[in-house]
């Protein structure tokens, strides 16, 4: 191992961009404004590993509250892999989240390694890719989320995530160049979704709805924000047959999958209403 001192500390604001840039090099196609939103979730939850002054490792360990945390952006620069730096920053992340039920979306081939740290498979996610949806038919039930009281969104979101994430939710639904829409049923919010620009194409996430019919209408309204030549991505729980059917109905194909894993237990989430998860990096 290199004799230069290896240190781990919380990232400074600009350093979150390093993790996002490295994620792009790994082919994860992060959103253009992810760094700003993720930092809002937990300013102290992004760790950087430095060899001397050189950044060589990153990880996010977002602590939403005293009960739940989520790990992402676990990356070591390729030339420093296999030297023990990765496990050091991994252990630092676990220490930061001590006492929490911890979730992650890991590449399937790494499941065994995560199991060594106490993670157990809950279910899988599939990333679907499509393009060319064109303009959507007008739908009077679909409204910009910004026209609804933020408290309405917070209340609707509550069952879909293990812990409150108010600061993140505010940043996520108001990020630049994105579109956040809600769908109403009998005057009540019955689903919402966000589409954001990524380094390549657009990602829809989350996409929550009370029924497959509402989910489809919301999906089409969001997907229409991309042009006919731009890729659109949707990450769905593989166990939700209606979400899989929605993606396949519109010609989307699977590009890769992840393993959703937890350390203590699988939270009771309404997977039958989750047509698209927010992000593999933050839950």
What are the extents of the domains in the chain? 6-104, 127-276
Is the domain covering 127-276 a CATH 3.40.630.90 domain? yes
Q: Does the CA dihedral 114-259-109-49 come out positive or negative?
A: negative
- pLDDT at position 2 is 55
pTM, to two decimals? 0.94
- pLDDT at position 149 is 98
Over residues 247-259, the mean pLDDT reads 95
When pLDDT is cut at 50, 70 and 90, the band that residue 3 belongs to is: low
8 Å CB contact between 128 and 252:
yes
Each residue of 91-147: pLDDT tens digit?
Answer: 999 999 999 999 999 988 888 889 999 999 999 999 999 987 878 889 999 999 999
The CATH number for 6-104, chosen from 3.40.630.30, 3.40.50.1370, 3.90.420.10, 3.30.750.24, is 3.40.630.30
**Fold matches, 6-104 and 127-276:** yes
CA distance 4 to 74: 22
């Amino acid at each position: 191992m290199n004799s230069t001192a290896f240190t781990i500390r919380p990232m400074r604001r600009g350093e979150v961009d390093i993790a996002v840039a490295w994620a792009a090099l790994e082919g994860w196609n992060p959103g253009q404004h992810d760094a700003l939103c993720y930092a809002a979730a937990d300013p102290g939850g992004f760790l950087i590993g430095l060899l001397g002054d050189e950044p060589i490792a990153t990880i996010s360990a977002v602590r939403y509250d005293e009960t739940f945390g989520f790990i992402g952006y676990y990356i070591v620069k390729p030339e420093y892999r296999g030297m023990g730096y990765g496990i050091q920053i991994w252990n630092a992340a676990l220490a930061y989240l001590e006492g929490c039920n911890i979730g992650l979306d890991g590449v399937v081939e790494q499941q065994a390694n995560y199991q060594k740290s106490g993670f157990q498979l809950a279910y899988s996610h599939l990333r679907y890719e499509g393009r060319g949806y064109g303009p959507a038919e007008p739908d009077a039930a679909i409204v910009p989320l910004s026209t609804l009281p933020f408290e309405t969104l917070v209340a609707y979101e509550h069952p879909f995530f293990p812990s409150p994430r108010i600061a993140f939710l505010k940043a996520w639904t108001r990020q630049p160049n994105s579109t956040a829409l809600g769908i109403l049923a009998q005057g009540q919010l019955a689903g919402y979704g966000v589409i954001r620009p990524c380094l390549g194409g657009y990602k829809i996430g989350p996409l929550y709805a009370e029924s497959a019919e509402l989910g489809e209408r919301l999906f089409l309204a969001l997907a229409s924000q991309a042009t006919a030549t731009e890729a659109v991505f949707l990450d769905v729980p593989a166990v939700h047959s209606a979400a899989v059917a929605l993606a396949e109905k519109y010609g989307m194909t699977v590009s890769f999958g992840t393993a959703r894993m937890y350390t203590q237990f699988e939270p009771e989430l309404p997977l039958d209403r989750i047509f698209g998860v927010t992000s593999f990096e933050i839950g």
